[in-house]
Amino acid sequence: MIQTINNKDSQIAERILAIQIPAYEVEADLIGFYGIPQLKDTIETVLASEEIFIGFSLENQLAGFISYEETNSEVDICRLVVNPEYFRRGIARSLLLDLIQRTNGKRLIVSTGSKNLPAITLYEKLSFVRYDEVEIATGIYLSQFARKC
């Protein structure tokens, strides 16, 4: 089931963090960079976030989520997280497709480590186009993608 979740609830914030940290540790291993900001999140930073969170529940457990910030013309995907126990089950794809439906024709933007081939493959399959690559640390690159709905 996909639904909006309330990151301002401390129990939900704990669940968010409990899957976010292991998921971003997998990405950090893939790209060879452990300075990913989401690895430094705490319960307090999740509670304070103004992002909109949409969760994917499986067997009454939060299995993944996507968060975003929205302006009048654009949606910036901030996090796309799947519990590593549930990788390769279509959860990230389902969350992205749900968000695409919610955006009412707005441009979507997202970034990921340039060595994160599973994420890049997913974005490209869903018609996201790479428009830039930025060096965020010596030898570490972030690919930026956009999709016009």
What is the reported pLDDT for 36?
Answer: 87
Residue recorded with tokens 């968060």: 67
For the stretch 16-42, pLDDT in tens is 999 999 999 998 888 888 888 888 999
Determine contact, residues 73/148, Cβ cutoff 8 Å: no
**CATH classification at residue 15:** 3.40.630.30
What is the reported pTM? 0.92
Domains: count for the chain: 1
| Enclosing domain of residue 109 | 2-148
Per-residue pLDDT of 91-142, as tens digits, reads 999 999 999 999 888 999 999 989 999 999 999 999 999 999 999 888 889 9
pLDDT of residue 149: 66
- CA atoms of 71 and 1, how far apart (whole Å): 26
pLDDT at 37: 83
Structure tokens at 3: 């639904």
Average pLDDT over residues 49-58: 96
Query: What average pLDDT score do residues 45-73 get?
Result: 95
Residues 6+ apart with CB under 8 A from 79: 20, 38, 51, 65, 66, 67
Report which DSSP code applies to 85.
G
